[in-house]
Chain A
């Protein structure tokens, strides 16, 4: 597949100065300690004092737009398992223990297996991807994720020809999470296999150069930048290759409002509000929402010939 670079990036911008500096900063930090998985496992899981991620490289898929401040990214979250107010996850997600952590990759695969988080980190070089995130509620952020392409993981288990979709099951522990059935728990999301294999689809393990804070979906989450944020499942425990379209949590809650595809589309309104504009967190005025959240050049091909109004 030919993957074009985003239009908003000129070649000279691909490795901006700030990134270089960040990388150097990181390398200094990393070389003075134990790099890699051992480090991940050994360090406590709070605070942002030092990076606890192995080395990562910048990505040509990154946008050069101004990043949303870390404070907003980590205090304004939708993670309904920890409460339905935006401030709830930051308050409550600390109760979740994220190590040890394993991800079962199963279903229609030649070599299904369970990966420890340390193994995941070694499947492919980590990259920083600065992506736009558009929430279905009408706000957006620009977030520097660190992760690896989901495709790198899926390749390991050798999907069978019969696998058409990928289902993501997330952590659910009623002892520390919401018990009211606001959504059907555990939270389930899904992608078509070709969407899951798309190079933009990221398995994120970090944010702003550090491991993911719990409220952002630690220790490993999906990031699908051309779809509404709820498609990017957090704190993933199982990935299943399946034949039939998965029954996702939001789709089950309100099928007319949250379609399986849920691609960002300014022309298809949510039944209760318009999706034509969005408020970038930190800005007062709304801005127009871009088709596929501005990633159309890379992903429009996935939906060729499809009626995006019917397949919202």
Chain B
């Protein structure tokens, strides 16, 4: 018998003796059809999202056009004294004319493709680790928690939102949802579209030493969300 068959058979043989309150084996689907409460009307989504993300020490910048994005990114790069970004491909970024403008101004957009061999992979990681700012788009955002959703795919790596100490994300306003369940209901494909769907709610944090809140322990310590119309 295969390992799998033996494993599942063992479970099958135990199930009849299991005392499982609330389980309803005769009507397996009977608990379906739960309706989630929605407490943020569409008109309040931006305010609620901003408020929640601010509470987690994330920044929100509503913008009108690509020019505004150029300025904000320049300010952030200037503050950290750097001229490089690990970035998603420009076709995955909203209003991406700013990429050309910033490139012309001497800013370097680095893609984070990791090579297949182990040694090359480590070398590339070490090089990427020196870059202080990461730039991504976003596939959605949750107003009730201030989280943004990112789906991996061609030109959309995970490292841009993970490796550098600063993460900038560009989020179109129409991608705001009241909650995680609402986002999942609207995007059933989100989980399987890429190998990774991640919800990011503010900068990385820990409270492991004496429950003292500290930012940026492994992931970025700064999160800037640029909200496009």
A binds B: no
